[in-house]
Chains A and B, each alone.
Chain A
Amino acid sequence: MEQDESPSTGTGRGAIVVTALVTAVVVGAAAYSLGRMSAPGRPVPGNTSAEAGFARDMQVHHIQGVEMAMIIREGTEDEGVRLLAYDIATTQAHQAGQLYGWLVEWRLRQAGSEPPMTWMMAPDPAGDHTAHAMGALMPGMATSAQMAELSTASGVEAERLFLSLMIAHHQGALEMAEAVLDRTNHPGAVTFADAVLLSQASEIDLMTRMLADRNE
């Protein structure tokens, strides 16, 4: 019996090893495609990702933009400023809603587990921008004193104040959009940030001209 099997043992082991290897490769490949196909197209950003941080902080930023635009729309009779305010309020409210929707879709909460702006404090992978300083205010945000001042001002004075606050506000948005572009390749986030860069840069030019007109 022992003698019977001993000549075939060598080939038997070889066959077993080859079969095991082939099976392992086939199983691995099948499992890989199964795993990829059964899951969403691409991994969803996590709770402390730059994308989630951007989605949360940009909402805070945009919502203040909406508030400022609504205040000036009620505080002035100037058609140019009122129209600009309408444009800014609807655009930024819509964009804030988009960001809100991302977080819902990613199954994340609107509040992060880390303080605001933490994602911008992380060194950016490309290393060509400085990271946001710890404890610094979100770029471009108006203080509550400035908001109160805008609410009580009227006429050209209110328009000047609005324009200078909104220029700073937009510049802060550019900074945040650039920061997320340095840290993400998520298609939705890239498209969004590109749109912010394009539209807000052109609005900064417009508001700079409008402010100059009112300073003459």
Chain B
Amino acid sequence: MPPSRDQAGAKNATKNAAQIEREARRATRVEASYQAKKRGALKRRFTKIGAGVAGVALLVAAYVFAPEFASYSPGSEGRLIEGVQTYTNITGHVTGPVTYPQTPPAGGEHNPAWLNCGIYSEPVPSVYGVHSLEHGAVWVTYDPALSPTELEALRMHLPSSYVVMSPFSGLPTPIVLSAWNVQLSVESAADERIPLFFEEYWRSERVPEPGALCSGGIDGAGRVS
């Protein structure tokens, strides 16, 4: 005899109730294990983040705590001043005349005697001037037609030694500063690159004979000081 609809319904209901309870228990277990897993994952994640933060903090703090290195701004390590030309002239002593590839010369073969550093009112022989560049001097050349005001302003830039200043015909610009294998052409004495050029290249260690004297050589004509 088949069960009545009511009986079947009750049985079904009982079964359903039991099933629901089982499912609920399972869901709780699943949820609990899920939460546990989640907590574990969270913990691992926090550990990873913590280690990461500690690592970054270590690097940052190590950098901050490292003793400061020499501070140096203008010109600076290999940073070129805008407009400075560099050359690869050779060196050597010759007694005859030399044709220089740059005007004015910025290095190359030269006379065994060097030009005494100083201010000259007349052009100086390049074969001597180039030898002074080899000793670390800066050679400041100017157009002979440069105004006295500009000339005076230019003189204000000069250090007390290791500098030759002289008029030079045929310059590309009114004023040209040369050191061994480097050169800067400027239009006026007010150009702010002039002090930077001196700071970067005056008595540079990148000359063939750094520290050799710029006196005890020969004087050109018209030495003013």
Contacts and interface: CB of A to CB of B under 8 A. Distances in A.
Contacts of A27: 54, 57-58, 61
Interface stretch (A76-84, A99-107, A178-186, A204-212): A99-107
A63 interface: yes
Nearest to A70: B216
B54 A23 contact: yes
Contacts of A32: 61-62, 65
Given A107-B72, A107-B77, A63 B161 contact: yes
Interface in A86-139: 93, 96-97, 100, 104, 106-113, 116
Given A1-B35, A116-B160, A67 B211 contact: no
Interface stretch (B93-101, B105-113, B201-209): B201-209
A45 B210 CA distance: 22
Interface string A2-37: 000000000000000000000110011011101110
A47 interface: yes
Nearest to A145: B225
Given A39-B67, A96-B211, A30 B72 contact: no
Interface residues of B, number: 40
A34 B59 CA distance: 9
B61 A111 contact: no
Given A60-B160, A116-B160, A110 B66 contact: no
Contacts of A36: 65-67
Nearest to A59: B203
A63 B200 CA distance: 20
Contacts, number: 109
Contacts of B72: 46-47, 107-109
Nearest to A40: B67
A187 interface: no
Given A31-B57, A31-B65, A46 B211 contact: no
B66 A109 contact: no
Contacts of B68: 43, 46
A33 to B, nearest CB: 8
Contacts of B161: 60, 63-64
A76 B12 CA distance: 133
Contact of B74 (A30, A35, A107, A113): A113
A100 B211 CA distance: 8
B70 A112 contact: no
A215 interface: no
Nearest to B161: A60
B203 A107 contact: no
A47 B211 contact: no
Nearest 8 Cβ contacts at the A-B interface? A31-B61, A35-B65, A110-B203, A35-B66, A43-B67, A34-B62, A31-B62, A35-B62
Interface of B: 35, 50, 54, 57-75, 77, 136, 159-161, 198-200, 202-205, 210-211, 213, 215-216, 225
Interface of A: 1, 23-24, 27-28, 30-32, 34-36, 38-40, 42-47, 60, 63-64, 66-67, 70-71, 93, 96-97, 100, 104, 106-113, 116, 144
Given A35-B65, A47-B71, A63-B161, 19 more contacts: A31-B64, A32-B62, A35-B62, A35-B64, A36-B66, A36-B67, A39-B66, A39-B67, A45-B70, A47-B70, A97-B211, A100-B203, A100-B211, A106-B70, A109-B72, A110-B136, A110-B203, A111-B203, A116-B159
